[in-house]
Structure 1
């Protein structure tokens, strides 16, 4: 692989994962297959935006959407192998965040501003 080929691939991966709420949706699905309502209730995101992000992740081959022919119809989302391969990336970002990122409204070393 030429080193020039890395930049577009890295850029595309950052574009995918860096979209608002996408990383947290993947993080939520690392727990296993879930219905839309469970994902929606676990994140402070609108149903419309969640639906949009899940469709994008499905088109990228990261999320699998399964429809079960029951009454009422049951739809479940899970990570594909490609999506599960992101677990180490998501976990490393989580560790990095815990060490280096302060919660909003906090000053240095977690001290709230006066």
Structure 2
């Protein structure tokens, strides 16, 4: 019995003594970082938006945006200039279904509103 105990003790202690330790290094191509940045920037334009209206002057666009912010405070809004008009847009929707649901609500107040596809 004593011999068996010594053998087991020796076996387990030698396992710890002979255990390996190591260090892992990952060599990554620099182009991967550049590709990740391109991917991140491309993903930000993939949202549906609702165009509430378009007008001929910046002042009118900002006035319309103020009204939209009052009517829909939970939606983000912005004014985009697309020569020769200023376009007031609201919301950022990941799916077309989300955008269409909100469009029905927005059209009650702004009948000319339309859902715009994401730019690619």
TM-score, normalising length from structure 1? Answer: 0.27
Flag the structure with higher helix content.
1
Flag the structure with higher strand content.
2
Q: Which one has more relative contact order, counting CA pairs under 8 Å at least 6 apart?
A: 2
